[in-house]
Chains A and B, each alone.
Chain A
């Protein structure tokens, strides 16, 4: 069975700093997808970034980028130039390819951006 581990329950950084959230996973699959979702205080889940395991290139979305290390089964999220609006819970999730499209979730990391 697949598992997703987020080892940092909470992190806080100053506005404009760069922060990295860690995520590791365990799977015997070769093809899969990885996601980072953000849940701000409004509790609306928002997709931040996704990565296909067959792609070696790390995904980027503006200030958000990932460091995908397939052999190490690591999928960290880097937020550059952090903003107050980045304050949220961040969840890492895993999905097998050609599956029932179910997501396996990490426990989440609470990120606080301080002014």
Chain B
């Protein structure tokens, strides 16, 4: 199998606080993890690509100081939304590709719903 978990599944926070979302590959090592944001009834928007042991590559328009990504091991990447504001409320999804094999397929976590009050 190729299982990816995300924690928490849902979080409500006050404006100005920081929120950390964890993405773990449970049964495989992930060379690369991706972070997406999805607005209601829309497709996925790639925020950043994270490779183990190196700095994340952010997509144009995504503030790297606001969305901090750490990929400290081959099974864990974290996304921290710093000083969250209501406009950061969204559904955040991570995915991971295997370090072994062809590695083209991305396996997705169940997502995290963030609501900033």
Q: Which residues of A contact B (CB under 8 A)?
A: 33, 35, 37, 42-47, 50, 91, 95, 97, 100-103, 105-108
Q: Which residues of B contact A (CB under 8 A)?
A: 32, 34, 38, 42-44, 46, 49, 57, 91, 93, 95, 97, 103-108, 110-111
Bound Cα distance from A50 to B2, whole angstroms: 15
Bound Cα distance from A18 to B42, whole angstroms: 25
B27 to chain A, nearest CB (A): 15
Bound Cα distance from A91 to B45, whole angstroms: 13
Q: A43-B91, A45-B95, A100-B49 are in contact. Are A105 and B104 (CB under 8 A)?
A: no
A11 to chain B, nearest CB (A): 15
Q: A91-B43, A91-B44, A108-B43 are in contact. Are A43 and B110 (CB under 8 A)?
A: yes
| Cβ 8 A contact of B111, one of A35, A44, A47, A107 | A44
